[in-house]
Amino acid sequence: MTDTSVETPATTAPAAIEADAAERAGGAPMIVFEEVTKIYEPNIVALRDVALVIEKGEFVFLVGPSGSGKSTMIRLLLKELEPTKGRIIVGGRELARLRRSKVPMLRRNLGCVFQDFKLLPNRTAFENVAYALKVQGESSKGIRAKVPEVLGLVGLASKMSHYPDELSGGEQQRVSIARAFVNHPPLLICDEPTGNLDPDTSVGIMQLLYRINRTGTTVVMATHDREMVDKMRRRVIALDDGAVIRDERRGGYG
């Protein structure tokens, strides 16, 4: 998969992807859902008996109409919600057995990118990224070294001291990706990261996520962007009404 580029994703054979992913995984998968059901009280079924395995190093699209359960899956992964039934294992750890006090540790190992960026409005790009390091007690020396590096990676080296409202949507999303990636987490979760962006900007964001994936980071991305999914030819998990209706190695939006 290391030779895969955004422009020519289809050149890699499916078998190679699998082998590559399994090799990086060292055996254990990144994410396992075992018959997961989530019911919002009283009777809204958001997910029904979802079972899937995502290997380390994979790039996975989560597609489906609004209300099909994509966001619920992501919130379950972040342990923002608890499943009504079933088990979720992330990085070899079962989330249900993770104590509340350990949830921050889980989240430091998961990068999160959201449709609405979720940047802190009164902090500069640099400070927004630095905050993710501060919460885990990184020294200011470490912060001064790592933040410019990752902001350079996302192409914002010249806009580190800009506030979010001084940046375009695409730039804000780059800041949020930098924040998610600054810890080099093994897993990056994106909830419609291109949902608020125009198509050209979206391509740039996708290229960035791709590059991050190539460093070995597993990327799970919920999206509505049909064109993007069709172009990428990556693993697609399609949800409808809370159930997995399709799981293809090199799928299209459907």
Partner 1 sequence: MSQQMRLFLAEAMRSLTANLSTTAAATIAVLIGMFVFGLFLAVGSYVNSWRENLENQVVVKVFFSQDATPAEIEAVRTQTLQFPQTKSMTFVSKEDALREMREKHPELTRGLASNPLPPSYTIKPKKAEQVREIAGRLDPPPPGVDTVTYKEKTTEKVLLFADVVKWGSLVGSLVLLAASTILIANTIRLSIFSRRREIEVMKLVGATNWFVRGPFMLEGLICGLIGSIIAIVLLVVGKEFALPALPFLERAGSEAEAWSFSLIALLVVGVSLLVGAMGSAITLRRFLKI
From CA 134, how far away is CA 109, in angstroms rounded?
14
Residue 122 or 168 with smaller CB distance to partner 1: 122
Tokens of 1: 């998969």
Kindly identify the residues of this chain, within the stretch 25-84, that bind partner 1 according to CB under 8 A.
78, 80
Among residues 231, 220, 197, the alpha carbon closest in space to that of 63 is found at 220
Instruction: State which of positions 234-253 bind partner 1 (CB under 8 A).
Output: none
108 in contact with partner 1 (CB under 8 A): yes
Which residues ranging from 178 to 237 are in contact with partner 1 (CB under 8 A)? 179
Binding of partner 1 by 135 (CB under 8 A): yes
User: What are the backbone angles phi and psi of residue 141, rounded to the nearest 5°?
Assistant: -65, -45
CA triple 125-72-201, angle to 5 deg? 40
**Minimum distance of partner 1 from residue 45's CB (angstroms):** 23
In angstroms, what is the minimal distance from the CB of 129 to partner 1?
10
**Euclidean distance between CA atoms 190 and 206, whole angstroms:** 11
Q: Judged by CB under 8 A, does residue 101 bind partner 1?
A: yes
Residue whose structure tokens are 């780059």: 174
Q: C-beta of 118: minimal distance to partner 1 in Å?
A: 5
**Nearer to partner 1 among residue 2 and residue 101 (C-beta):** 101
Asked if residue 70 lies in contact with residue 191, where contact means CB atoms within 8 angstroms, the answer is yes
Question: Using CB under 8 A, which of 87, 118, 214, 224 touches partner 1?
Answer: 118
